[in-house]
């Protein structure tokens, strides 16, 4: 997968305002001479919700060939419990704050309290390029920092919503193909529109102009960077594929120490098509595998990165509904009890039946990164301590 973006273009398209004085080494992902590489953490959510029955149950392993193969090198938590609100924003916000969240689920409110991004940056002195959120879910614009008045935006993560970036460029991409006929341009438009509208939220659903808003110049910069990718051999066919592209771009250009990557194609289950739901699971599995491959071949990440992969929630059991996979609000074990897989630095292969919680991921990530979790519901997972 190749990129049409240069480093400064990406800074601009992400809407960042960063002083030139901090750019040279940070952008190149370079380490100061004589300085040891530091630990990194990537949190990956199987967003949208997925059940055990379609993943790590014997009946579901064929849907996740990459993760099933990686399991032998991973530490596997068989019983990772979501005890909070069974909705997307609250579930992911619980993962990144270490506390069960009960805020507006459409992103109008930030997570309650501090996020791990703020705590990590405040305690370690990590810079503004060291923490990123890249989310297919378009309602996650406020996920970069929480409501703690003593922290907030100055210590938050850079939030990139790939669909939001692409939405403003669709018409321009079509307009640039001036050498082609109307039918060809319309086909391109339909391809891009389907990329934006696939999933439950629909085109333009819950897109907020908050935080680092993109102006017209930034959108033009984005257009230059994405046109080759969209029209090339690796063109994305889903929002999650676009998310992976931008994630690997961030890794290669900025080498952040902490990332949250939200895949979300599986929420297509709300449309009621079991085949689309299964297809999204397999695609997410493939993208998780590709992300791990990037960790292994990127010298700034290899051997120093711990990757935690977990569903943000499950989905209803078929005992509770004729087609339980459609929704995720019943509160039954199929909704609450999922799994978590850890790969990489500090991980010794194994598994456990002991119950752990979504909120434990935050405390664990902070400890790995050299920060203290402090007062939160989550507890560091001793199986993963470096």
Give the Cα separation of 157 and 134 in Å (integer).
10
- On the question of pLDDT at 113 being above 60, the answer is yes
Asked whether the beta carbons of 325 and 340 are under 8 A apart, the reply is no
Query: pLDDT for 10-19, tens place per residue?
Result: 555 554 434 3
Looking at residue 169, its pLDDT comes to 52
Please indicate, yes or no, if residue 287 is contained in any of the structural domains.
yes
- On the question of pLDDT at 29 being above 70, the answer is no
The pair of three-digit structure tokens given for residue 372, joined into one six-digit string:
């203290």
Nearest to 291 by CA among 311, 312, 277, 305: 305
Looking at residue 323, its pLDDT comes to 80
Query: If pLDDT is split at 50, 70 and 90, which confidence band does 214 have?
Result: very low
Mean pLDDT throughout 29-53?
78
Q: What is the pTM of this model?
A: 0.84
Mean pLDDT throughout 350-378?
96
Query: If pLDDT is split at 50, 70 and 90, which confidence band does 356 have?
Result: very high
Please indicate, yes or no, if residue 56 is contained in any of the structural domains.
yes
Please indicate, yes or no, if residue 93 is contained in any of the structural domains.
yes
Count: domains in the chain: 1
When mean pLDDT is compared across 144-148, 178-182, 220-224, the lowest value belongs to: 220-224
Please indicate, yes or no, if residue 24 is contained in any of the structural domains.
no
Which of the two residues, 385 and 2, has the higher pLDDT score? 385
Query: If pLDDT is split at 50, 70 and 90, which confidence band does 367 have?
Result: very high
Please indicate, yes or no, if residue 9 is contained in any of the structural domains.
no
- On the question of pLDDT at 279 being above 90, the answer is yes
Asked whether the beta carbons of 383 and 109 are under 8 A apart, the reply is no
Looking at residue 238, its pLDDT comes to 82
Please indicate, yes or no, if residue 230 is contained in any of the structural domains.
no
CATH code, 318: 3.40.720.10
The pair of three-digit structure tokens given for residue 221, joined into one six-digit string:
């910069």
Write the DSSP string, 55-91. Answer: TTSTTTGGG-HHHHHHGGGSEEEEEEE--S--SHHHH
- The domain of 154 spans 35-166+238-384
Give the Cα separation of 362 and 188 in Å (integer).
41
Query: If pLDDT is split at 50, 70 and 90, which confidence band does 33 have?
Result: very low
Looking at residue 383, its pLDDT comes to 94
Query: If pLDDT is split at 50, 70 and 90, which confidence band does 210 have?
Result: very low
What value does the mean pLDDT of the chain take? 81
Give the other-Cβ count within 10 Å of 195's Cβ: 22
Which of the two residues, 357 and 1, has the higher pLDDT score? 357
Which of the two residues, 105 and 189, has the higher pLDDT score? 105
Asked whether the beta carbons of 374 and 355 are under 8 A apart, the reply is no
Q: Which helix (H) or strand (E) holds 311?
A: strand 305-311
Please indicate, yes or no, if residue 246 is contained in any of the structural domains.
yes
Mean pLDDT throughout 311-331?
86
Give the Cα separation of 169 and 174 in Å (integer).
9
- On the question of pLDDT at 91 being above 90, the answer is yes
Please indicate, yes or no, if residue 43 is contained in any of the structural domains.
yes
């Amino acid at each position: 997968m190749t990129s049409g973006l240069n480093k400064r273009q990406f800074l601009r398209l992400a809407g960042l305002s960063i002083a030139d004085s901090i750019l040279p080494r940070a952008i190149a992902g370079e380490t100061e001479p004589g300085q040891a590489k530091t630990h990194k953490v990537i949190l990956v959510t199987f967003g949208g919700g997925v059940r055990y029955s379609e993943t790590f149950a014997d009946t579901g392993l064929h849907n996740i060939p990459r993760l099933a193969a990686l399991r032998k090198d991973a530490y596997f938590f068989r019983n990772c419990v979501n005890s909070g609100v069974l909705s997307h924003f609250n579930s992911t916000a619980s993962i990144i704050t270490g506390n069960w969240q009960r805020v507006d689920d459409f992103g109008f409110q930030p997570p309650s309290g501090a996020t791990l991004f703020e705590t990590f940056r405040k305690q370690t002195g990590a810079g503004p390029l060291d923490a990123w959120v890249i989310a297919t879910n378009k309602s996650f614009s406020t996920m970069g920092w929480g409501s703690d008045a003593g922290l907030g935006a100055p210590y938050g993560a850079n939030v990139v919503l790939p669909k939001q970036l692409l939405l403003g460029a669709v018409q321009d991409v079509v307009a640039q193909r001036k050498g082609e006929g109307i039918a060809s341009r319309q086909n391109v438009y339909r391809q891009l529109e389907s990329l934006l509208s696939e999933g439950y939220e629909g085109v333009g659903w819950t897109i907020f102009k908050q935080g680092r808003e993109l102006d017209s110049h930034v959108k033009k910069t984005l257009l230059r960077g994405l046109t080759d990718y969209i029209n090339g051999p690796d063109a994305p066919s889903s929002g999650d594929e676009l998310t992976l592209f931008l994630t690997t771009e961030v890794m290669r250009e900025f080498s952040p120490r902490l990332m949250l990557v939200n895949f979300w194609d599986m929420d297509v289950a709300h449309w009621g098509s079991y085949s689309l739901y299964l297809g999204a699971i397999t695609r997410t599995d493939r993208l998780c595998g590709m992300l791990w491959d990037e960790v292994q071949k990127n010298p700034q990440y290899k051997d120093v990165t711990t990757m935690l992969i977990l569903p943000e929630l499950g989905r209803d059991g078929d005992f509770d509904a004729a087609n339980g996979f459609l929704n995720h609000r019943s509160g039954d074990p199929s909704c609450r009890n999922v799994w978590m897989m850890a790969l990489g630095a500090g991980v010794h292969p194994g598994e456990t039946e002991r119950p752990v919680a979504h909120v434990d991921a935050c405390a664990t990530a902070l400890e790995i990164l050299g920060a203290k979790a402090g007062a939160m519901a989550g507890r560091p997972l001793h199986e993963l301590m470096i």
